Structure 1
Amino acid sequence: MNKSKNNYQPIKTISHIIAFLLLFILEQLPLSVLTLTKKQLGSHYQSYTKIAPVVTIILLIVAATIIIFVFKKVQIFPTQKFTKKTWLVIIVALILVTLVNYATLPFMKPTNSNVEALELIGQNNMAILIFFSLIVAPILEEIIFRGLFMNWFFVDRPLVAIIVSGIIFGYIHAPFGPGTDWFYALSKILLGVVLAGVYYRTKNIKANITVHFLNNFLGVILQ
């Protein structure tokens, strides 16, 4: 990635932080529509299950359009073509991610807040949950946590960018606190680190999207 040492601009950094947070909230908004329960809605629940998926898809289209547009504007290097080396990086990354999953899964708690939220969404609309897990999450999460983050922050320190990207990715999936499932958090942190490494090595966002997709696909199949 391009070097920008000794060119720290605090106002620009703050604006990037604000933009990053807003785009993350925008990415989370569509699925949040499907997190209400029958207990909360009572007699309105049936109408909700018909209307909420439509609202979710509309919000998704808006969110994805904005996020992808911003990413295309901020990437500081030209996207590299897929080569044999790209596929080799993807294969190695997938092996690493699989090893991480198998090493941490036996020690995870039966459930956590992130899993419970996904289960609730699945109860309201399983088709949308699967679509988001397999297609939307790999694309938008990679654009935000790798594409935007690594082009906005620690540009001249790629190792720091890779590690911090992984930590933030882990925190988003398992907020750190007294009740944190630390093995689940660790698996997400390491997943984020691997995905960031793929983006740095390949200079092609589609490479880490591919790894993310395959990881989620295996998870859906196993579940």
Structure 2
Amino acid sequence: MTLSKQNKSNFNIFWKIISFILLFLIQQSPTILLGSALQSHSSFKKSWELVIIFSGLCMLIVGLMLGLLHKTQSFATRRFTKKSWWIFGIGLIAITLINVLLQPLIKPTGNQNVQSLTHLMLTFPLMFVIYAILVVPITEEVFFRGFFINWFFEQHLAVGCFLSALLFGLMHVSRDPFYFLSKFLLGLVLGWSYLRTHNIKINILLHFSNNFLAIFIGVLMIKP
């Protein structure tokens, strides 16, 4: 590789890293908005303005991220096939086993990430449920599987799959090793399904199933 090509490659990597960080902040902005409203002592957190701003922000982010993935994905998206649904079924079984085996080991208190999300769910139940079940599966899959693997590990997809799972676990901030392990294993399953199907929609469906199950269990565990 010539020096000019090396410099161009380093330049591209630099901008990919900057873009990746900015997209992470954008992806987190709906949660930041709800968190800010939660801390507000004004009537804003119970207003229609919050609902409109939150809904518009979510739609804008989903459209932006899906459009960008379509332009930057390193391989062509495959159509849904019978094999795709088999992989979805295997992934769903794996995700269910991860939840069943590790959920009892996760500490019910002291988990800052879980506690913060619980506060948001109790304060903004409808917005949070819609966001967690419909929006998060799209934005997190596009971000962690789509952007991370395609942008930084185009020639080493399996390595990207493993590291994306590690990053996925670390980003769900917690000192509980079992909580981290559950997210890491979930990330591995999602990364595997993405590489096997070459279709991010399978990941989104699996992530949707996982979040729906988590919220359903969380609602059952809330004491009246």
The TM-score with structure 1 as length reference comes to 0.88
1:27 match: 27
In structure 1, what is the equivalent of residue 198 of structure 2? 203
In structure 2, do the counterparts of structure 1 residues 37 and 64 end up closer, same or farther at CA, with 3 Å as the change threshold? Answer: closer
More helix by share: 2
Q: How does 1:41-52 map to 2 (within 5 A)?
A: 41-42=40-41, 44=42, 46-50=43-47, 51-52=49-50
**By how many angstroms is 1:37 displaced?**
6.6
| Alignment gaps of 5+ in structure 2 | 1-5, 219-224
CA–CA separation in structure 1 for the residues paired with 2:37 and 2:133: 24
How far, CA to CA, are the matches of 2:79 and 2:67 in structure 1?
A: 20
Contact 1:33 1:55 in 2 (8 A): no
| More relative contact order, 1 or 2 (CA 8 Å, 6+ apart) | 1
Determine helix, strand or coil for the equivalent of 1:35.
helix
**Deviation (angstroms), 1:139:** 0.8
Q: Which residue of 2 aligns with 1:108?
A: 106
- Is 1:90 aligned to residue 88 of structure 2? yes
Secondary structure class of the residue paired with 1:206: helix
After superposition, the C-alpha distances for 1:106-162 in whole angstroms (9 at most, x for unaligned) are: 211113111112122123310011001110011111111111111101121122101
Instruction: Give the distance between the partners of 2:32 and 2:122, measured in 1 at CA.
Output: 13
1:181 paired with 2:176, answer yes
Map of 1:136 onto structure 2 = 135
> How far apart, in 1, do the equivalents of 2:77 and 2:56 lie?
29
Instruction: Give the 3 Å change call, closer, same or farther, for CA 58–37 of structure 1 in structure 2.
Output: closer
What code does the residue aligned with 1:25 have?
L
Asked if 2 retains the 8 angstrom alpha-carbon contact of 1:34 and 1:53, the reply is no
CA–CA separation in structure 1 for the residues paired with 2:94 and 2:123: 34
Q: Alpha-carbon deviations, 1:38-70, whole Å to 9, x = none?
A: 6x433x1x3332132322112222222221221
Deviations 1:193-212 (A, max 9, x none): 11011000000010111111
CA contact (8 A) 1:135 1:213 kept: yes
Write out aligned runs for 1:109-128 (5 A). Answer: 109-111=107-109, 112-128=111-127
Which residue of 2 is the match for residue 193 of structure 1?
188
TM-score (norm 2): 0.88
Whether the 8 Å contact between 2:84 and 2:197 is mirrored in structure 1 is yes
Give the partner amino acid of 2:27. E
| Matched AA of 1:33 | L
Find the aligned partners of 1:187 and 1:215 in 2 and give their Cα distance. 11
User: Structure 1, unaligned stretches of length 5 or more?
Assistant: 1-6
Q: Cα–Cα, structure 1 residues 158 and 41, in superposed 2: closer, same or farther, change >3 Å?
A: closer
Distance 1:37 1:83 in 2: 43
Q: CA deviation at 1:18?
A: 1.1
Once the two structures are superposed, the pairs formed by residues 61-72 of structure 1 within 5 Å of their partners are 61-72=59-70
Cα RMSD after superposing both structures: 1.9
Q: Distance in 1 between matches of 2:177 and 2:149?
A: 25
> How many residues of Structure 1 are paired with residues of Structure 2 in the alignment?
211
